[in-house]
Structure 1
Amino acid sequence: MSFTVEDPVKTLIRLLRTYLRVVKEDGGLASIHISDEWYNSEISKTYDGQITVGLENCREERLSINGAIRRSIVTYRINVWVLDKPEKSLESSEMRNKILQEVKNVIREKGETPYKFEYNLVGASQKSGSHKVFYTFSDQEIPPTSSEWNELSDEEYAKLWYSDDERLSETIQENGKYPLLLFKFKLDAETTVLKSLTLKFEGYGESPAGNGVTIKVWNFSDGSWQKTQTSSGSLDETISIEILSGFENFVDKDGYVYLLAKTANPSDGVNSAVLHCDYAEMDFSVNGISYCKLVSYRNLDEPHNRPFIWRTELSVEGWIFERTV
């Protein structure tokens, strides 16, 4: 069975963007621009460093006699670039080394599953553009386009950054109404290359008629909330929705996926219904490179430039397996 394979450069860029974190001397995170080739001097003026990813070559191997099973061996060219700051030249050199080390760490730690990604809400705020969360109170499951939804404050967003028992809680004491949360996740892969898509909610719900949480995903084709999953506990638990086909029905034209969470039962007007959320994420995998490894690296500093450019080039190998029949 044949399937659409994602551009291997896109997959590796996403892998680095998702998992690479560089900590500066002051404890803050370095701003690293990751893109396809080549170096952009204007970008380097506003970022702590730049990483570019390019395809050096690709070799094809036939793994079956009839050629139905093939392996593509992809060689990537990854470059780390840091623009020297004359007054802080040592810091610039150290930044290049830190970025290099983190690139190596990501390749080594994720090399067995470079096609799997976890998108969470770490760092999300009202100003961030990728993932959003909204709340409302209603006696029905309203669609994601409704004007009834209200975005979380920055303080509320921070409670969802980590699975750390610092929960966001939404409470309603009005007969027949539920507290609802809407998670809006940005998917940066085409639906044609997806292998799986999983939405996860960690938390619990309290209500007079029984505890628990209900989650659903929005189907754009049918215009309804579908694939219901429930929990019934009064302590944190993770419930998930897994999608293995028909991805185009659950992703809009801009790449957004919507997850609804609500208490299993509404308030009775006397006792409140409370929805507690500790964490949420969207996981997905793509058809494409199934393995990658670091082959070599070398320093290619550019002293002829002013300002000086600290540069390291890495060679990374990736494998893609395809079956044509």
Structure 2
Amino acid sequence: MSKQKSNFPGKPLSSLKQPSPLLMSQKNQLIDSLTSHISLYTSNPTPNPNPNPRASILKWFSSLTPHQRQSHLTAVDPGFVRILVQMLGHVDPRGHCTFIILPDLPSPDNLPSLCCRRSRGLLSRVAESDAPSRLIFESARLFSSNEGDNVKECSVSLNCLDSVTVGEELVRDFDLFVETMDGVSKGEFLRGEVAELGEDWVELGWLKAKGYYSISAFVANRLEVALRLAWLSCNSGKKRGVKLKEKVGMASASANVFWRKKGCLNWWRNLDDETRRKVSAAVMGKSAKNLCLAPVSPAGSVDETSVPQSIFSLA
């Protein structure tokens, strides 16, 4: 029998060429866009049937004054703040971006690697109209926990920032705060138990489910962690493990840092103009580094809200 040639269409593998870098780049962008849109359309809130310990935490939190709420949402966390500053560096020149951190792939400075993706089209428009995310972003405040410990080391450099808190506008209205956190977390705020509170980089389930997430979601995740730790500290909740006990202790210390900072600002605001000028002159005489001082108006008064400028807004 004569051997027939196969009519199977196609080319041998040896004749195939590698796709061009441009084609691969376009393919990756398409995959990224598809996954982002799938995440957007599947992000409807799905309430957890087991709300505990949400009810207990919110009942306790609602009984606090606005300033007490601020203190318990304060976190002294240098690593978190440094990552947050890195995120801001991507957002300003490029518009809205989403991020993901990779704790398993540390960067040279021992922080998790940070991946950034720019939002386009529908994703960008949705982000611009997201009121809860915008409120969290605008109310976040960064400051240094060590400011004032040593006059000679005074600095307002970004490298000195190590703490985050929120403005009173976010926590003054309890219902608005819960509504905002529910909006960012898609209804998962304080839902269920969390076993990883003692870890260095805690990503709650609702944040992980987003894949890439916004700065506001990253901040909201840290606020929820701070709130859970504060509740454990103030209500003698279960503290399993050495790491968790350390984190609970740090939450208590962070609240004290807030009150110290608030006391310092209240003291400054209550000074008269002449005393402020004397204090400013004394600090200038003792410090060899740049200080952020308020300009003196033509009338000789000093702006009570800007000296010293030591709390920075993300917005």
In the superposition, the TM-score normalised over structure 1's length comes to 0.23
User: Which is higher, the Rg of structure 1 or of structure 2?
Assistant: 2
**Structure with the bigger percentage of strand:** 1
**Structure with the bigger percentage of helix:** 2
In the superposition, the TM-score normalised over structure 2's length comes to 0.24
